[in-house]
Amino acid sequence: MNAKSQSRLIELRRDLHERPEIGWREFYTTGRIVEELEAIGPDELYVGREVHREERLRPPTDDQLESARERARETGVDENVLSKVEDGYTGALAVLRKGEGPTVLLRVDIDGLPQSESDDPDHLPAVEGFGSRYEERMHACGHDAHAAIGVGVLEAVKESDFAGTFKVLFQPAEELGAGAASVVGSGHLEDVDSLLAVHVGLDVETGVVYPGIESFLAVNGFEATFEGSPAHAGNSPHEGANAVQALSTAVGNLYAIPRHGDGATRINVGEIEGGTATNIVPESASLRGEVRGTTTELREYVADHAERTLRSAAELHGCDVDVEFGDGTPSCECDDALVDVVSAAASGHDTTVTPDEGDALGGSEDATRLMRAVQRNGGDATYVGFGSSNPTGHHTATFDVDEAVIPLAVDVLTDAIRSVSTAE
């Protein structure tokens, strides 16, 4: 790609990096992306609510929306865009109609994380003056670079010989495991023949390309609330039913769920709460955790065991328990034909194409919902990873991407998308 577009994309990435926003509250982010998209001039542009169906996962509270709106206004968001996203349906979808041919969708995510960014003098964003302006807000997963890549590919495909329909989805709320779910059923996926989702970083150096990542773990969250009965801890402990005791029994046994011979599983209890005073047998206690598996079936195996463990622990201590699982994200499979197209495109550039990503990724991704939806309709999907020499791991305060990945990813993805149209 030419130097001018390249420096514009890096400028965009840095601007977003400096103003990270949490899922469903990407107001400035959406506004800034829309500004870039309008300059390119897609044939159709959908913003905010127009990208999603109404029911969505983990919506923000009114207070969260209010303070995010205020911050976006202070930052200088386009009021026109704000009016389309202010209820918390964020993100955008640009469409190019370039005649007869397949429909290809590129999905990038755009949200930041609720953590503070390092101001260490070795941390490049701090040195160059584009570190996060906000406490407890950071682009610590590279979604700022993803947004820039999405804009770059749209422009490059527009100027190319691609024939067909090309869409770029700037998806919100990936870190909440929520943003993809309401795009499914929005009407924007039904005609998609090929879907490419993308991630940079991945703790490998710039130039490494994974054309088909399948090692994302299926994940689901759960919450359990134990209800016992209170009593004086000194004179009548026998009359109480101790909810904290039931919870503790459950936690120990959740980690004792047997491993499964078919693949990796995970369980974690990440938050607990309970009791009111040292001299009262605690009446209620709650925990929040998550289960994962290399396949959706393995995740369900852990979930079933976890539910039985929670119920048994409650019964053992004479308590009741309410167990609720959320709407998790599934595992995924990439389609060989599309993986081959991406491999061939990457081989034409200064890259090391690595077909097997091992199981180094260990995380989860809600793009798997979009992939499954497209595959259910008979389309192909793949998840492409671009290494980007990150100094420290994802979701850490000193995470950063090597910006050289932006033009490289734009070039490789554009070539892959052009090949899809000529292969039809």
Among residue numbers 105 through 144, which ones bind Zn ion (CB under 5 A)?
141
- Residue number with CB closer to Zn ion (123 or 146): 146
Q: Using CB under 5 A as the criterion, what x/- string covers residues 141-160 for binding Zn ion?
A: x-------------------
End-to-end CA, the chain = 25
What residues contact 58, with CB distance under 8 A and at least 6 apart? 23, 24, 173, 176, 177, 178
Angle at 300 between CA 295 and CA 303, to 5 degrees: 135
**What is the smallest separation between the CB atom of 367 and Zn ion, expressed in angstroms?**
10
Whose tokens are 């800034």? That residue is 32
Asked if 401 and 200 count as a contact pair (C-beta separation under 8 A), the reply is yes
Alpha-carbon span 18 to 75, nearest angstrom: 11
Identity of the residue numbered 49:
R
Task: Name which of 147 and 156 has its Cβ closer to Zn ion.
Answer: 147
Residue nearest to Zn ion (CB): 141
Check binding of 219 to Zn ion (CB under 5 A).
no
How many residues in the shown chain lie near Zn ion by CB under 5 A? 1
Nearer to Zn ion, 329 or 421 (CB): 329
Least distance to Zn ion, CB of residue 393, Å: 12
If the CB atoms of residues 108 and 373 are measured against Zn ion, the closer one turns out to be: 108
Please state the closest distance from residue 220 (CB atom) to Zn ion, in A. Answer: 18
> Judged by CB, which is closer to Zn ion: 176, or 224?
176
Length of the chain: 424
Nearer to Zn ion, 149 or 157 (CB): 149
Rank residues 59 and 179 by Cβ distance to Zn ion and give the closer one.
179
- Closest separation in Å from C-beta 57 to Zn ion: 17
Residue 361 CB, nearest approach to Zn ion (Å)? 10
Those residues whose C-beta lies under 8 Å from the C-beta of residue 159, and which sit 6 or more positions away, are none
CB of 98 to Zn ion, least distance (A): 30
- Cα separation of 70 and 213, whole Å? 39
Instruction: Select 95 or 141, whichever has its Cβ closest to Zn ion.
Output: 141
Rounded CA separation 188/50 (Å):
10
Residue 101 or residue 363: which is nearer to Zn ion going by CB? 363
User: Which residues from 369-408 bind Zn ion, rule CB under 5 A?
Assistant: none
Q: Which is nearer to Zn ion, 147 or 334 (CB)?
A: 147
Minimal distance, residue 136 CB to Zn ion, in Å: 18
Distance CA 214, CA 356 (A): 9
Closest approach of Cβ 110 to Zn ion, in Å? 10
In the complex, minimum distance from the CB of residue 3 to Zn ion, in angstroms, rounded to a whole number: 28
- For binding to Zn ion (CB under 5 A), which residues are involved? 141
